């Protein structure tokens, strides 16, 4: 079994407190199982489902408590700790009658954390995520301001997953607090999903649904109040996400933070990389903006159309055209690929 790295005392205290909470919830589940044994018909079925739901929820809470603490202290090898976290959660939630549910739920949560970490490790272009987060924030503010209007409802989504589907789920959205509100959210969410796709190389059937799927994984691993999860009698998983613009704003800000960290790590690694012997080129530090502008003019691009092609923001493209600081190294790589040249060819 994998040995856990030692955690700070505050983290250990937090996990221990969550273990105590989990044991109390397991006692509730056992009581529900006992009540089910003495009941019949629909009452028995309800007691059983309540017990199962309690154990699923408790397993998620305890798994996430371990994962959040270890990802803070052991991010480089965190994924290797996930199987051990599964075993630790199963050990602390001792409920033989529902052991299968505990194991399956822990494995599912392990998969969610694995997917989340892969997203955070690959995301780039912090300027794009800052802009998308700001657009979600505008929608969230507008939605909050309209809550005082009678009959106005917040935008929420319902997702369904079938066993073995292995896909991004099927999503249905309400109309939100006013006409066109959902359409505006769909547009921003689709661009956010497209940006995630560009960093991961995946091809989902629907960009908006891909964003909602990734958002639900993020909320699930954070025990977010914006997410409610469940399962029906045929083991089809489902969830409901509340306050979609606000939840999306939070996720977008997290992706911006990760993109900034990825850029920092890339720059650090490049600075530490030994230069090749015989490389007589002087370090390239300034973009050849005249060359980039000529190429854009020849190809018929402006800031907006090139930004769409590169999955970036017009501000980032403008930064490359004017030797600014609002673009990252990965965006220059994308431009070089589009121009069919080496990255060094774009510097002078």
- Residues 62 and 92: their CA atoms lie apart, in Å, by 9
Q: Tokens 């977010």 identify what position? A: 224
Of 61, 52, 56, residue with least CA distance to 85: 61
**Token pair belonging to 69:** 């603490």
pTM beyond 0.85: no
C-alpha distances (whole Å) from 117 to each of 90, 207, 314 are: 22, 20, 28
Superfamily of domain 287-348 in the CATH hierarchy: lambda repressor-like DNA-binding domains (1.10.260.40)
Of 161, 92, 85, 163, residue with least CA distance to 117: 85
Of 102, 111, 95, residue with least CA distance to 221: 111
Query: What does each of the 348 residues of the chain score in pLDDT, given as a tens digit?
Result: 457 888 999 999 999 999 999 999 999 998 988 888 888 888 988 988 899 889 999 999 999 999 999 999 888 889 999 999 999 999 998 888 889 999 999 999 999 999 999 999 988 889 999 999 999 999 999 988 887 554 467 899 999 887 655 588 889 998 888 778 999 999 999 999 998 886 555 677 789 999 999 999 999 999 999 999 877 655 677 899 999 999 999 999 999 999 999 888 877 776 666 655 444 444 456 788 888 888 888 888 888 788 778 877 777 888 887 777 677 777 888 888 888 888 888 887
With H, G, I as helix, E, B as strand and everything else as coil, classify residue 326.
coil
- Residues 304 and 282: their CA atoms lie apart, in Å, by 33
pLDDT at 275: 53
| Helix runs in the chain, H state only | 9-38, 41-73, 82-92, 99-122, 126-145, 181-200, 207-221, 244-272, 289-299, 303-310, 314-321, 329-339
- Residues 49 and 261: their CA atoms lie apart, in Å, by 43
**Token pair belonging to 168:** 């991004």
- Residues 315 and 302: their CA atoms lie apart, in Å, by 11
pLDDT at 180: 87
Burial of 160 (0-12, 13-18, 19+ CB in 10 A): middle
pLDDT at 270: 67
Of 262, 256, 107, residue with least CA distance to 192: 256
Of 272, 302, 271, 288, residue with least CA distance to 342: 288
Read out DSSP for 50-61?
Answer: HHHHHHHHHHHH
pLDDT at 136: 96
Domain boundaries, the chain: 9-122, 126-259, 287-348
Instruction: Please list the residues that pair with 159 across neighbouring strands.
Output: 171, 239
- Residues 217 and 296: their CA atoms lie apart, in Å, by 39
Q: Is 123 left (phi over 0), alpha (psi -120 to 50) or beta?
A: beta
DSSP 178: S
Q: Is 212 left (phi over 0), alpha (psi -120 to 50) or beta?
A: alpha
pLDDT at 280: 45
DSSP 95: -
The Cα diameter of the chain in Å comes to: 83
């Amino acid at each position: 079994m994998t040995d856990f790295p030692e955690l700070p005392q505050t983290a250990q205290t937090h996990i221990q407190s969550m273990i105590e909470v989990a044991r109390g919830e397991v006692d509730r589940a056992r009581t529900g199982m006992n009540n089910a044994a003495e009941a019949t018909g629909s009452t028995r079925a309800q007691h059983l489902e309540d017990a199962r739901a309690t154990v699923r929820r408790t397993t998620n809470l305890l798994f996430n408590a371990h994962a959040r603490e270890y990802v803070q202290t052991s991010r480089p090898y965190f994924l290797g700790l996930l199987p051990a976290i599964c075993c630790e959660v199963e050990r602390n939630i001792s409920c033989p009658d529902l052991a299968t549910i505990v194991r399956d739920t822990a494995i599912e949560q392990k998969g969610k954390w694995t997917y989340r970490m892969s997203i955070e490790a690959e995301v780039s272009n912090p300027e794009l995520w800052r802009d998308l987060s700001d657009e979600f924030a505008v929608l969230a503010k507008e939605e909050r301001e309209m809550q005082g209007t009678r009959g106005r409802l917040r935008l929420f989504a319902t997702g369904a997953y079938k066993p073995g589907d292995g896909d991004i789920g099927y999503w249905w959205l309400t109309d939100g607090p006013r006409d066109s509100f959902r359409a505006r959210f769909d547009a921003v969410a689709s661009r956010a999903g497209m940006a995630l796709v560009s960093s991961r190389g995946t091809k989902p059937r629907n960009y908006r649904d891909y964003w909602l799927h990734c958002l639900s994984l993020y909320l699930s691993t954070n025990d977010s109040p914006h997410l409610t999860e469940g399962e029906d009698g045929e083991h089809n998983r489902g969830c409901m996400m509340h306050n979609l613009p606000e939840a999306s704003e939070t996720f977008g800000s997290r992706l911006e933070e990760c993109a900034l960290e990825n850029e920092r790590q890339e720059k650090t690694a490049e600075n530490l990389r030994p230069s090749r012997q015989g490389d007589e080129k002087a370090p390239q530090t300034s973009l050849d903006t005249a060359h980039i502008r000529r190429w854009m003019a020849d190809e018929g691009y402006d800031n907006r159309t090139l930004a769409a092609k590169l999955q970036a923001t017009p501000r980032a493209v403008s930064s490359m055209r004017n030797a600014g600081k609002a673009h990252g190294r990965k965006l220059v790589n994308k431009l070089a690929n589009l121009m069919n040249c080496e990255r060094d060819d774009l510097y002078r």
